[in-house]
Amino acid sequence: MTTREYRERAIAEAGYNTFLLRSRDVYIDLLTDSGTNAMSDNQWAGMMLGDEAYAGSENFYHLEAQVQKYYGYKHLVPTHQGRGAEHLISQILIKPGDFVPGNMYFTTTRLHQELAGGTFVDVIIDEAHDPESLFPFKGNLDLNKLSHLIDRVGAQRVSYVTVAATVNMAGGQPISMQNLRDVRELTARHGIRVVLDATRAIENAWFIKQREPEFATSSVAEILREMCSYSDACTMSGKKDLLVNIGGFLALNDQEIFEEARNLVVVYEGLHTYGGLAGRDLEAMARGIEEAVQDDHIEARIGQVEYVGERLLSIGIPIVLPIGGHAIFLDAKRFLPQLKQLEFPAQTLAAELYVESGIRTMERGIVSAGRNTETGEHNFPKLELVRLTFPRRVYTQAHCDVVTEAVEAVYDRRQEVRGLEMVYEPKYLRFFQTRFERL
């Protein structure tokens, strides 16, 4: 526990950016669910069986078998985390001048697409940009927007379609199985590949089970397998669904692209049977897959997020609806209506929440959206959100209650809150390191 005065100093020294705080100054850490999960006894036991051979580790073959069994792709290329896989697939499939449509951008995914010479095009349904819409599958792609893009630029200039499940930036919102089928059908007609961002696909599978009657009696594992069958490849950050602290992979079906990927991985990550990971990390991820697809686990995980969301709703806090998979997203535009978007409402709210309670959260608004690569202007996203992200198997219901009380305390004094001014901005993924001062 720290005092309010201490936290005032700490956040000022961190340039009002929660990524720049020291973790020892944080009381409850809801910055991210990435790599912050608690591994199980079974995973830790697996770490003791790390085969640290440079090539051909036993743990690689275990992970490969698990990915084939649960995700259904033929080939596996391990990477140090999700962005390593995004880098490889972007370099292989995108030609300069190409377009890459997707269901709302994700920061690292879009940057790798841009660095490869592509232009990302958001083709998510309009409901995703409306925090109050109750549409059950706000992660869906708008097939008209996608068709229109293909007609406008020609199928040859569409490298692939990125399909994220769930959609992090929209509030952890799921995509439906029906939409996945429709996207597959449309892209197949044009010979365009589909690359799934499967980072939280297991959470997405749970929502499909809850909300799409056809799947009410299917297991999460069965649903996951079918979801993946409508794509050609997936990029994966194992640091989320798969309950590990580090690790990721690219998994795919096409032999030729696989050969290219396992050649390129040697340049950027490490040999194709370890991809920047220790054998023990591969083993922890292999075991994590099996734990992550258990219906009981995923029900409890999403249930915890729902518990916090329902409590916040009951006291009138504006959050993104429906409640998403991995996080509660506060709607900073409605929370702090006195602030203009260029006074960084979500960044401000994350800083205020820290000062109030020592709870660390993350901005998902104009700072995360970055700048237009051509004009250099800020992108102005419709959503200006603060993400309260729940690591898996870490916090108790008592922690959750502290969180809701802290949010309520900031809400009660919301009229006093002033915005921020940007004083330093790095070139790439600016939200990690940008610094601010109070206005």
Ligand X SMILES: Cc1ncc(COP(=O)(O)O)c(C=O)c1O
Using the minimum distance from each CB to ligand X, give the nearer residue, 232 or 352.
232
Residue 103 found at the interface with ligand X (CB under 6 A): no
Binding flag, residue 87, ligand X (CB under 6 A): no
Which residues 12-71 are close enough to bind ligand X by CB under 6 A? Answer: 34
Residue 82 touches ligand X, criterion: CB under 6 A: yes
Based on the shown chain and the rule CB under 6 A, indicate whether residue 197 belongs to the binding site for ligand X.
yes
CB under 6 A: which stretch of 79-87, 116-124, 175-183, 206-214 binds ligand X? Answer: 79-87
Q: What is the residue whose two structure tokens read 């259904």?
A: 72
Tokens of residue 103, six digits: 């269901």
Task: Give catalytic status of residue 207 as yes or no.
Answer: no
Q: Pick one of 187, 199, 231, 273: the residue that binds ligand X (CB under 6 A).
A: 199
Active site residue 428: no
Contacting residue, 168, 231, 368, 389, with ligand X by CB under 6 A: 168
Among 109, 218, 231, 389, binds ligand X (CB under 6 A): 109
434 is an active site residue:
no
SS3 content of the chain, % helix, strand, coil (to 5): 45, 15, 40
Torsions phi, psi of 421, nearest 5?
Answer: -120, 140
Window of 51-59, 80-88, 334-342, 382-390 that interacts with ligand X by CB under 6 A: 80-88
- Is 109 noted as a catalytic residue in this protein? no
- Decide the pairing of beta strands 248-252 and 233-237: antiparallel
Question: Is position 69 annotated as part of the catalytic site?
Answer: no
CB 384 within 8 A of CB 361: no
3-state secondary structure 242-311: CCCCCCEEEEECCHHHHHHHHHHHHHHCCCCCCCCCCHHHHHHHHHHHHHHCCHHHHHHHHHHHHHHHHH
Q: How far is CA 87 from the centre of its chain?
A: 16
The CA-based angle 427-433-434, given to 5 degrees, is 75
Identify the active-site residue in 240, 280, 360, 387: 240
Q: Which two tokens stand for residue 84?
A: 């390593």
- Tokens at 417, concatenated: 């809150």
Q: Please say if 431 is a catalytic residue.
A: yes
Residue 106: active-site member: yes
CB closer to ligand X out of 197 and 356:
197
Q: How far is the CB of 268 from ligand X (least distance, A)?
A: 13
Q: Contacting ligand X (CB under 6 A), which of 16, 71, 106, 329?
A: 106
Query: Pick the catalytic residue: 32, 79, 107, 187?
Result: 107
Q: Which stretch, 106-114, 122-130, 172-180, 376-384, contacts ligand X (CB under 6 A)?
A: 106-114
DSSP letter assigned to residue 130:
-
Tell me the β-bridge partners of 364: 385
Q: Which helix (H) or strand (E) holds 409?
A: helix 397-412
Choice between 164 and 323, CB closer to ligand X: 164
For residue 95, how many other CB atoms are within 10 A of its CB?
Answer: 11
Active-site amino acid positions: 54, 106-107, 197, 240, 364, 431
The footprint of ligand X (CB under 6 A) covers 34, 81-83, 106, 108-109, 164, 168, 197, 199, 237, 239, 248
